[in-house]
Amino acid sequence: MDTKTSLESQLKAAGRRMTPQRKLILSILDETGDHLDAEEVYRRAKKINGNLNIATVYRTLSILKDMELIEQRYFARDHSVEYYESVNKGEHYHFTCLGCRKIIEVETPKIVQVQKEFSALTGAKFTHACVCFEGYCASCVNDEENLTL
Amino acid sequence: MDTKTSLESQLKAAGRRMTPQRKLILSILDETGDHLDAEEVYRRAKKINGNLNIATVYRTLSILKDMELIEQRYFARDHSVEYYESVNKGEHYHFTCLGCRKIIEVETPKIVQVQKEFSALTGAKFTHACVCFEGYCASCVNDEENLTL
DNA sequence: CTTGCAATTGCAAATGATTCGCAATTGCAA
DNA sequence: TTGCAATTGCGAATCATTTGCAATTGCAAG
């Protein structure tokens, strides 16, 4: 897989060793389409290597974060839901449905526009934006209307 | 004070009692212009009432959150900085300078526009948005240029 | 102004996620 | 093949937050 090779080679380039534990964690991060938190990465990896320790997962995620290969992101207004995501997914944001907990990806240039406007106005330089939207998706809005209105 | 009276009366309306501890916490939340986390609310309150316990602060903040009188918000991409803010401050967002840790408030209608667009497109209903920007403010950008470029 | 009782408090212990110290193990370059 | 620094597993430490519980206290009803 493309990203995997790249993750591996980037780690190596940074002078890191490629252990079976790391390969496993990288492949899980790489091959999933889901949004995983540290615990879930651990759960999945542990199924394959029962000996794996959660500290190793945290250590690996921490290295990847430091190298900016993944980002730690959050869902929900109170940030109760956390996950890690490969940085090469491109600029996008998330909407969490409070009804069914579904995550919908939101694409829009407007956030970047806000950053540009603000930069032009103040001279500031942006490095990152964290954006989470919360509400009810179309089908949950309907359900709600049927039940309560 | 306006908000204070309203916070007190809203709590009472919800059947809660007005203890000295709560009054103190409410007044701190109300009168500060700063962004306070639970620890800082506790620190400030404790100066006035040395007997106050931090569990009481957490309990009070929790009640206010449940009643949607304050919001729990976060700064910084990794959400390492948390604070509570009165909900009646109106729609605004924050930019955290990674150099000097200064917080700059960002005002823009674009975030709401994104929400409207997305709603129109998908039929979803928004309840909240959490938006944090991160980067370097104008003077830190200059410092950086002088030092490293 | 009393009285009673549920709400609230302080405290200490529990929790849950994450990190750390350390000894044992293991990649990998020479 | 070897040596050593990087990495691992483990258990203990940490840190913010929550909880159980007994003592205290608002406040409403008499």
Cα separation, B25 vs B47, whole angstroms: 12
Cα separation, A132 vs B140, whole angstroms: 27
Q: How confident is the model at residue A1 (pLDDT cuts 50, 70, 90)?
A: very low
Two tokens at A141? Answer: 């809005």
Cβ pair B133:A113 closer than 8 A? no
Two tokens at B108? Answer: 């823009």
**Same domain? A41 vs A99:** no
B19 touches strand D (CB under 7 A): yes
**Same domain? A50 vs A121:** no
Q: Which nucleotide is nearest to B18 (CA to C1')?
A: D26
B137 touches chain A (CB under 8 A): yes
Domain harbouring A23, CATH code: 1.10.10.10
Q: How confident is the model at residue A143 (pLDDT cuts 50, 70, 90)?
A: confident
Number of structural domains found in chain B:
2
Q: Are A61 and A100 in contact (CB under 8 A)?
A: no
B38 CA, D16 C1': Å apart: 10
Give tens-digit pLDDT for B63-85.
Answer: 998 888 887 766 555 555 556 66
**Same domain? B34 vs B71:** yes
A89, A122, A140: which is the final residue of a domain? A89
**Same domain? A83 vs A16:** yes
**Same domain? A61 vs A107:** no
**Same domain? B42 vs B5:** yes
Among A107, A133, A139, A142, most B C-beta atoms within 10 A, so best to mutate, is A133
Chain A residues with CB inside 8 Å of B77's CB? 71-72, 127-130
- Average pLDDT rounded to a whole number, residues A112-116: 86
B82 touches strand D (CB under 7 A): yes
Tell me which amino acid residue A33 is.
Answer: G
Tell me which amino acid residue B135 is.
Answer: G
- Give the pLDDT confidence score for residue A82 in this predicted structure: 58
**Same domain? B24 vs B72:** yes
- Give the pLDDT confidence score for residue B78 in this predicted structure: 53
**Same domain? B65 vs B1:** yes
- Give the pLDDT confidence score for residue B21 in this predicted structure: 96
Query: Of chain A residues 22-61, which have a beta carbon within 7 Å of strand C?
Result: 37-39, 54-55, 58
A125 secondary structure, DSSP code? E
**Closest-CA distance of chain B to residue A111, Å:** 7
B89 CA, D19 C1': Å apart: 32
Q: How confident is the model at residue A41 (pLDDT cuts 50, 70, 90)?
A: very high
- Give the pLDDT confidence score for residue A2 in this predicted structure: 46
- Give the pLDDT confidence score for residue A61 in this predicted structure: 92
**Closest-CA distance of chain B to residue A85, Å:** 13
**Same domain? A120 vs A132:** yes
**Same domain? A79 vs A41:** yes
The domain containing residue A98 runs over which residues?
91-149
If 0-12 CB within 10 Å is exposed, 13-18 middle and 19+ buried, where does residue B104 land?
middle
- Give the pLDDT confidence score for residue A97 in this predicted structure: 81
Q: Where are the alpha helices (DSSP H) in chain B?
A: 2-13, 20-31, 38-48, 54-66, 110-122, 138-148
Domain harbouring A139, CATH code: 3.30.1490.190
B33, B63, B86: which is the final residue of a domain? B86
Return mean pLDDT, chain A.
80
Between these two residues, B72 and A14, which has the higher pLDDT value?
A: A14
**Same domain? B74 vs B5:** yes
**Same domain? B7 vs B76:** yes
Give tens-digit pLDDT for A52-98.
Answer: 999 999 999 999 888 878 877 665 555 555 566 655 556 678 887 87
